[in-house]
Amino acid sequence: MYLLQSLKSFDWKNLLLGEEEWVFLPEVLLRSAIMFLVTLIALRMIGKRGIMQGVFEIVTIITLGSAAGDPMFYKKVGLLPAILVFVTIVLMYKLINYFVARNERIEHLVEGRHVRLVKENRFAIENFKHEDISKDEIFSDLRLSGASHLGQVESAYIEASGRMSIFFLPDEKVDYGLPLLPELYEAQVTQIIHPGLYSCAHCAYTKEIHLTEKHECPVCSEIKWVRSINNKRVT
């Protein structure tokens, strides 16, 4: 009984229309069509490369989306101010890109710069502190590119866009390296009871280790090791 009374007293008009009237719906259609066209023109002016890469470009797209959304369904927001916002954003984008193309310092300030993550078959851990990226993310990107261990990788970079660039060694130059497969990487040991080639679980430095209770990595001073592998890439 209480539920039926609640449904009868429920303000369906407020739920569906908010503070507007039914006659505002055709105007919503017109506003949406106009802002869709304005957004399309603005993105065309920015260009395909701008849409696909860079923190600056992402901020620009988010700002355009915010400016486009409100005038579509808020009656109190006029179209002309929103279109002026679009013009300002596009002009700012063009102006900043002009200076970025001519000044490397401004480019690094706005877009960031690439950072090397893998070198000499190991992680460049000295560069990790400059990037908010976890080792699991690096492992995932390397596996998705077809790498099963770091001995196959000549170098890897995190680009300013956030994407990873990976360069592989030819099969004849593949060396022993840290396994990237979870079932192998997780088999970490501190006590070496089977002599052989091992990779540091932290920095991936690889060396031959003999029987020992504990062996400290000469690069990062960690003591956990993983048995190295030298499988060729399967392409």
pLDDT at 48: 47
Report whether 206 contacts 177 (CB < 8 A): yes
Question: Model confidence over 89-143: pLDDT tens digits?
Answer: 788 778 877 887 787 777 666 666 778 888 888 898 877 766 566 788 889 889 9
Beta carbons within 8 Å of 197's beta carbon, 6+ residues apart: 176, 206, 207, 208, 209, 227, 228
**DSSP characters for 39-59?**
HHHHHHHH-HHHHHS-HHHHH
pLDDT at 10: 62
Rounded alpha-carbon distances, angstroms, from residue 66 to 55, 63, 83, 100, 164: 17, 5, 12, 25, 29
Which segments of the chain have a pLDDT < 70?
1-20, 36, 39-40, 43-59, 75, 77, 107-112, 129-133, 161, 235
Q: How far apart are CA 35 and CA 108, in angstroms?
A: 33
pLDDT at 226: 93
Q: Which two tokens stand for residue 227?
A: 């048995």
Domains of the chain, each with CATH number or no CATH: 11-108 (no CATH), 115-227 (3.30.240.20)
Q: Which two tokens stand for residue 71?
A: 């005038």
